[in-house]
Amino acid sequence: MPLIARRRGEANRIVAHTTTQAGRGEFVDNVAALAVTTALADNTIYGPMLLPPAEFGPQRVEQLRMALCRSTTDPRTRARPATFIAASTLRRDDQPLTSRALAHGHGALGAAAIGVLFQQHAEPHVVENELDMLTGRVGATRW
């Protein structure tokens, strides 16, 4: 599995397949969750995933992301999927879930920016614009 992150095409395929699976309301299995979590080590995959794809319902995408956190005990591994959830719930203006997700997102790229938007009670159009710019910045960041 660790090799998936180095094979960008395969990682993108797994992320796309698993997002589609969640979009259909199917539960994501542990193998797919591990594969996606591993693929997210690559910022070119992680960055674009901060914004839920428009063609899927946001709650379905959050289901996928929660599945990624399901059995993860390592805070560093849990931080990225938690930041996804925070971005999605901030976009939906679900303040309680955004707050809970941000508590687990500490240290992930983008978590601090999402936290600032959350604390400022940013307007929906500001959230949308900032998340879009954040996606680009994170995707361009190299480890």
72 to 34, 68, 118: CA distances (angstroms): 9, 7, 25
The pLDDT of residue 75 is 78
The pLDDT of residue 118 is 95
Distance CA 129, CA 46 (A): 18
Computed from CA positions of residues 67, 17, 102, 118, in that sequence, does the dihedral angle turn out positive or negative? negative
Task: Annotate 21-45 with DSSP letters as a single string.
Answer: HHHTTPPPPHHHHHHHHHHTTSHHH
Per-residue pLDDT of the chain in tens (143 residues, 90 and over written 9): 556 666 778 878 888 888 788 777 777 777 777 777 778 888 888 888 888 766 667 777 677 777 777 666 777 778 888 898 899 889 889 999 899 999 989 989 999 999 999 999 999 999 999 999 999 999 888 75
CB 50 within 8 Å of CB 79: no
pTM: 0.79
The residue type found at 133 is: M
The pLDDT of residue 143 is 59
The pLDDT of residue 54 is 65
The total number of residues written for the chain in this structure:
143
